[in-house]
Structure 1
Amino acid sequence: MTSPVGLHRVVQPTGVLPQAAWRLDTSAAIAPNEVRIRVQRLNLDAASFRQLSEKHGGDGDAVRAEVLEIIATRGKMQNPVTGSGGMLIGTVEEAGRRSPLGLKPGERVATLVSLTLTPLVVTDGLARWDGRSEQVPCDGWAILFARSIAAVLPDDEDPQLSLAVLDVCGAPALTARVVSRYVEDRRRVGDPTPVRVAVIGGAGKSGSLSLAAARRAGAARTVGVVPVAAERDALTAAGLASVVALADARDPVGLSTAVTTALGAPADVTVVCVDVPGCEHGAVLATADGGTVIFFSMATSFSAAALGAEGLAADVTMLVGNGYVPGHAELALGLLRAEPGVRRLFAARIAAD
């Protein structure tokens, strides 16, 4: 019997969901409710790629070898240190007759579920990848389940650019949802206090989209926090934030001071989009009582966040960005098309890779 969530693909240990499994069955033959994708490019999660690159001192060959080993051993791409994976683009090869995804052979798609639960086989040894960027050209196949999510790639955008945007499309969607609720709640009770939003890592992929989404959702003042002058200049030129601040997100007092100074008060909503650990306490400290912290980084320690908030007596709601919000792909691609600053930041990042 085939499971809509892929239980039948779990090899070890049995009884857990594919994301928690150590190894998945990667057989190319599909069940009636599955879809097989011919993979063309992977997009590794930023936290995972950073960890691998730092572990190997930037040695691309060593990074490539470890990624190949992970995929071959586990039947999926799941970094054993960060627990994260990424996503992929490819072409639909075969769709089972009972698949509810509505995909057709020949369609070029991006998967909107993590590589940590996607059965994956690489057949070209990643020969076209130098191990020095998050985007990985490759050949192979992947399997989608009935409960998987995929988006047909738009014809009017570079697939590499679309992949980069769709990889983080959950961040702007959840940011927009949370910010719009604050705006509506204050409007309903006649509270003129402006909604203030801080995005930590504002010049990155998820950060730039989240800034654009917050502004569209009605945030009156936004700050994008970045660690270095080059990112400050790029984000300022993009025009996505009311103000751009320099701060190390791992320095709680320094981060809180930068956000409060930039916004004139602590943030109502703080969005954490950096891919390094140790940013939890600063994000909590930078957020007003009654505010919300959204963690989108896979480098986040949720025990550190919870215990840190308790230790600071901080009355904040903390949300885990799980990557899925209904309509997230359409919203992110819409921001790419409507916001020249978002497009410039993404294009520069892809060119640098």
Structure 2
Amino acid sequence: MSFPVGLSRVVEPAGVLPQAAWRLDPRPQLGADEVRIRVERLNLDAASFRQLAEKHGGDGAAVRAEVLEIVGTRGKMHNPVTGSGGMLIGTVDEVGPESPLPVKVGDRVATLVSLTLTPLAITDGLAGWDGRSEQVPAQGHAILFGRSVVAVLPDDMPGELALAVFDVCGAPALTDRVVRGHAANGPVSVAVLGGAGKSGSLALTAARLAGARTVGVVVSEAERDTLTAAGLADEVAIADARNPVAVSSAVAQALGGPATVTVVCVDVPGCEHGAILATANGGTVIFFSMATSFSAAALGAEGLAADVTMLVGNGYVPGHAEFAVDLVRRSPAVRALFEARVAGH
């Protein structure tokens, strides 16, 4: 039986899938089911970029050097501290004769699978990147497998904007699914921790369009003002997502009680217990942050006697890319937030 999941690219340890591997083989020669992408830009996930920036005190040259070291050593962008990577955009260079992916040579595409499982080689030393932003101009190549997920870039938005949207497109799609599932039992309220960020703003928009009452929880007055001006949430509250009592109190005050659904989009550790405490019994917590400790979430829910369903946002829901792009097209406020993020403001 053939398994089009990239097993032939695993160098070490033997017997694991590419995501779990320590090192991959990024050779440009293709297997029958593979696709080679000429890389234009990487998008480091928020947790990984934050960890690298904090480690090096904002020294962009040091961040750039470490990203190059990780890719050179591991054959992929897989941050060994956070365990996360990101995604990329580029142009299809070659398509293997047995590839099932819906792309052809010359298509500009976004990879909708993590860089932690994508064989990657960088050839320009990241000379066009100052190490101070999540988006990384780059030259090189990447390999997709038969079971990878890829989307052709929309022609009505710049590549940098599309990359930022695709990077978090799983969040709004899963939020929509969960909200609509709860709606069968009555009114739904949604709290989004990190509501002013990329995934948070899209999750808020999806929840409101699905009919939920929403509160965006942010950490600062500046983020509160940004989210309030955008009009993406019914309520905006300030609380440190790492402080369980503060989060729970802020959500309860904004919504008149705990949320039916809580979505965690904060890229720092320690947000698990606040999300659980802010969620009503019978409700759902969706963890989208790669900084989440799932043992802390499970044991915290047990310790709080919290009857909540906890979901890992795995980044893939069928149709998620089209869903997220449609949200950005329909909401000028969301598009403005993303454009400001891409511009570094």
Give the equivalent residue in structure 1 for 2:153: 153
The 5 Å alignment of 1:199-348 reads 199-219=192-212, 221-348=213-340
The 5 Å alignment of 1:80-229 reads 80-186=80-186, 194-219=187-212, 221-229=213-221
> 1:121, CA displacement in angstroms?
0.1
Q: Percent identity?
A: 76
> 1:185, CA displacement in angstroms?
3.1
CA shift digits 1:12-40 (9 cap, x unpaired): 01100000000001110001110000000
Give the equivalent residue in structure 2 for 1:189: none
Moved over 2 A (4+): none
Distance 2:170 2:199 in 1: 8
> 1:3, CA displacement in angstroms?
3.6
Distance 2:119 2:276 in 1: 37
CA shift digits 1:140-179 (9 cap, x unpaired): 0000000000000011111100000000000000000000
> 1:2, CA displacement in angstroms?
6.6
Cα distance change of structure 1 residues 240 and 282 upon mapping to structure 2, 3 Å threshold: same
8 Å CA contact 1:92–1:109 kept in 2: the answer is yes
Give ranges in structure 1 of 5+ residues lacking alignment.
187-193
CA shift digits 1:105-139 (9 cap, x unpaired): 00000000000000000000000000000000000
CA root-mean-square deviation? 0.9
Give ranges in structure 2 of 5+ residues lacking alignment.
none
Aligned residues: 345
Distance 2:140 2:341 in 1: 26
Distance 1:11 1:250 in 2: 38
SS of the counterpart of 1:185? coil
8 Å CA contact 1:2–1:33 kept in 2: the answer is no
Distance 2:268 2:291 in 1: 6
8 Å CA contact 1:2–1:8 kept in 2: the answer is no
Cα distance change of structure 1 residues 2 and 122 upon mapping to structure 2, 3 Å threshold: farther
> 1:184, CA displacement in angstroms?
2.2
8 Å CA contact 1:44–1:86 kept in 2: the answer is yes
SS of the counterpart of 2:185? helix
Give the equivalent residue in structure 2 for 1:190: none
> 1:351, CA displacement in angstroms?
1.5
8 Å CA contact 1:18–1:118 kept in 2: the answer is yes
8 Å CA contact 1:39–1:142 kept in 2: the answer is yes
Distance 2:273 2:179 in 1: 21
Distance 2:171 2:327 in 1: 12
Distance 1:225 1:341 in 2: 18
Distance 2:342 2:76 in 1: 24
SS of the counterpart of 2:310? strand
Distance 2:241 2:251 in 1: 11
Give the equivalent residue in structure 2 for 1:67: 67
Distance 1:25 1:350 in 2: 31
**TM-score, length of structure 1 as denominator length:** 0.97
8 Å CA contact 1:48–1:79 kept in 2: the answer is yes
